[in-house]
Copies of this chain bind each other. A is one copy, B any other.
Amino acid sequence: MHIVVVGYGTAGLTAASYARLINRQARITVFEKRRYAIYHPCSLPDVIAGVIPAERLVEEAVNLPNLDVRTATIIEEVDTASRKVYARNLRNGEKVNFEYDALVLATGSRPFIPRNIRIEDSRGIYTLRTIEDSKLIVEAASRHGSAVVVGGSALGIEAAHALRKRGIKVTLIEYALKLLPGKLDEEIAKIVEDHLRGEGVEIILGDGVSEITGAEGSKRLTTNSGKVVETGFVVMATGVKPENELALQMGLKIGVTGGVIVDEKMRTNIENVYAAGDVAEVKDIVTGKPVLSPFASTALIMGRIAGINAAGGEAKLKGVLQNWIVNLDGFKFGAVGVTEEVARQSGFETVSVTVSTQDKPSFYPDSASVTLKLIIEANEGRLLGAQVAGFGNLVEKLNVISTIVTHGLKVYDIPYLEFAYTPSLNELVHPLYVAADAALRKITRRHTR
């Protein structure tokens, strides 16, 4: 059996590893267009901030028997009828082709720049996707005293924070009225905004960029409202799109999101072809709707399932929640499940509460506070999502809530969950208890109205 994996990001790497685990006889070939096998894109902002040297983020391929990882190689074509892949080596131009029994498409995503932003001169305009990008941005930051980040996405915020750490003037422009639209509700997005402003990042909200002119060193951005911002260079963090070109060539069905439609086994519409990671369109656990999930955390889960199934095993994806966190030197924010906005758009009647509470007793020197929002289905009390911001242990909050939401637990269950307590680490009255009690009072008032 020959399993071909296209792309060696988190999804591809994980698919190859689990295929290997499930089927020790199978030959596995991975094609990756990068010149290096593994890198850690989530750490690129830390390269810009100067926390980690870029070189540390590159790794050799995992050495597994019968696993052939071919870097600097692109797939030019896949013939799904004859089950053949046609590859070209970017180093020497050599072309090879292979037959496959199963193929896992894990081509990931690419930065997306909205077409309505007119770009006159692309010099001094960067995206942040590869090691090379991060090096170029570090160099630009050493040459210029200011930068504009376009896009109040998680990546945009991380980039703005990292550039501020290098001491340059940073302006962040987001066309929506709040940061992280679709990802955080307004009250939590406001906490993030206030924190960034406190770091000295200038923020322009509710105003898109219409035009970028000028050469590097004297870039000039014009917004829809006619505002003009002059800056040294620009980082575009306006989102990503599935890298679906090969999928289209193969005749794979593409969904409304632009991702490849897969079933719970990560199977596409073509037999023996699987898709996983940023390129796949999957089901949101809470809403049941098709979504993209461009996170390493879900790429890992999808890659696992695709790899197991491709190798003859059996694994199923219930759906994705999108449990994510951003860390700006201790100040953190993140979310799991749906926002209240998305929940309502999806037809849920919701009750929500937002509480700010100590995450560690105030008599400890490093006492921290955290803001926690819970989104609850009003009639049954099922937890639909949560958002967090602050200096406490937010990973813990998100991961507990992720377990709760995935398994359909209710706000009524929270007061009976036992949380480990020691005062030098956390508060006895867990923020989740505080939030659940506030929600229960709100639900009781609703019922007695």
CB pair B327–A421 under 8 Å, yes or no, is: no
**Chain B nearest Cβ from A269, distance in angstroms:** 24
Q: Does A36 contact B (CB under 8 A)?
A: no
Determine the chain B residues whose CB is within 8 A of the CB of A334 once the complex forms: 420
Most buried by B among A57, A322, A421: A421
Determine if A297 and B402 form an interchain contact, defined as CB atoms under 8 angstroms apart: no
- Interfacial residues of chain A within 195-254, with CB under 8 A of chain B in the complex: none
CB proximity of A392 to chain B, nearest CB, Å? 10
Chain B binder among A108-116, A374-382, A422-430: A422-430
Closest to A364 in B: B52
B contact residues around A304 at 8 Å (CB): 415
Cα A430 to Cα B304 with chains together (Å): 14
Known: A323-B418, A429-B300. A423 touches B46 (CB 8 A): yes
| Chain B CB within 8 A of A95 CB | no
Most B C-beta atoms less than 10 A away, residue of A317, A393, A417, A420: A420
The stretch from A97-105, A143-151, A403-411 touching chain B is: A403-411
Q: Chain B residues near A361 (CB, 8 Å)?
A: 40, 43
A276 within 8 A of B: no
CB nearest to A388 among chain B residues: B420
Q: How far is the CA of A417 from the CA of B317 in the complex (A)?
A: 10
- Closest chain B residue to A362, Cβ basis: B56
Residues of B close to A423: CB separation below 8 A: 40, 42-43, 46
- A interface size (C-beta, 8 A): 63
Residue of B nearest to A440 (CB): B21
* A43 partner residues in chain B, CB cutoff 8 A: 361, 363, 423-424
Report how far A94 CA is from B345 CA in the complex, Å: 64
Cβ-based interface call for A10 (8 A): yes
CA distance A406 to B393 in the complex (A): 22
Q: Report if A1 contacts B (CB, 8 A).
A: no
Bound: A23/B341 CA distance, A: 35
A96 an interface residue at 8 Å Cβ cutoff? no
| Interface presence of A325 (CB below 8 A) | yes
> How distant is the Cα of A361 from the Cα of B317 in the complex, in angstroms?
26
Q: In the assembly, what is the distance between CA of A46 and CA of B402, in Å?
A: 33
In this assembly, does A298 line the interface, its C-beta being within 8 Å of a C-beta of chain B?
yes
Contact B323 A51 (CB under 8 A): no
Q: Are B415 and A297 in contact (CB under 8 A)?
A: no
- Which residues on the B side are within 8 Å of A324 (C-beta)? 420-422
A60 contacts B by Cβ under 8 Å: no
Whether A415 and B301, one on each chain, are in contact in the complex, defined by CB atoms closer than 8 angstroms, is: yes
A418 near B393: Cβ-Cβ < 8 Å: no
A296 sits at the interface (CB 8 A): yes
For residue A86, which residues in chain B have a CB less than 8 angstroms away from its CB? none
Report the bound CA distance from A395 to B364 in whole Å: 17
> Is residue A141 contacting chain B, with contact meaning CB distance below 8 A?
no
CB of A262 within 8 Å of the partner chain: no
Closest to A57 in B: B363
CA distance A170 to B421 in the complex (A): 26
A40-B361, A43-B363 as given contacts; A419 in contact with B399, CB under 8 Å: yes
| Further contacts, 4 of them, CB under 8 A, given A301-B415, A402-B417 | A51-B365, A57-B363, A325-B422, A403-B404
